[in-house]
Amino acid sequence: MENTHVTIDFAAPSDQVARQLIGTLLFVDGVGGRIVETEAYDRDDPASHTFNGQTPRNAAMFGPPGHAYVYLSYGMHWCLNFVCREEGHGAGVLIRAIEPMTGIDIMRARRGVQELRQLCSGPGKLGQALGISRAHYGLALDAPPFALEAAPEAVTVVAGPRIGISKAQETVWRFGLQGSRFLSKPF
DNA sequence: CTTAGGATCGCCT
DNA sequence: GGCGATCCTAAGC
């Protein structure tokens, strides 16, 4: 059955997209839930993979908006981003945490953990739970295996400094669902 | 509760 | 050759 399509405008600045994504439902091959934490990155952003221009690794970030940019973190964690702005710009949003809703047993098996709060509370965990890999690099977000659905209810968004970066730490481009128990870290 | 270190590898200097 | 947009475990307060 069809559901409400998402009204996210991925051509907008990445911080706006990151804020709008909070509360949105994300599924990969039917597995997923509600996005509760994101981070924005932009060209001219010292913390961004695109800061020093286009490379083979970050090419998808310079592709069309509304597509996936996937990268391998620390040699072992696959992380998922949504490309923003116009093609060629080099901006995106890192999906950092999800509230598990559908396919929970699949996520438990992939993670090797039982607790709901440990399934998707971080970009690496989320990538593992949703089965993200190189195969998802550059794929459009409005077609299988991806599916996005509008937030089922209004949410209150909170913001703070980004996590795990060494540059531009003062930029307040981390967004989260207020009071959520599924964040990678509290705000 | 907080901190420190190891795992592991593609990409860039 | 060095370094991460991370995670986990073990040890220290």
- Domain borders along chain A are 14-177
| Residues A138-144, mean pLDDT to the nearest whole number | 96
CB A71 within 8 Å of CB A136: no
The protein footprint on chain C, as nucleotides within 7 A of a CB, is 4-8
The predicted pLDDT at position A169 comes to: 84
**How many Cα atoms are found within 13 Å in the side-chain-facing hemisphere of A128?**
17
Class of domain A14-177: alpha beta
| Residues A73-91, mean pLDDT to the nearest whole number | 96
Please list the residues that pair with A99 across neighbouring strands.
A34
Task: Estimate to the nearest angstrom the gap between the alpha carbon of A17 and the chain centroid.
Answer: 10
The predicted pLDDT at position A6 comes to: 74
Cβ neighbours, 10 Å, residue A139: 17
Decide: CB of A76 under 7 A of nucleic strand B. yes
**A2 pLDDT higher than 60:** no
The predicted pLDDT at position A1 comes to: 52
Decide: CB of A72 under 7 A of nucleic strand B. yes
Nucleotide nearest to A57 (CA to C1'): B11
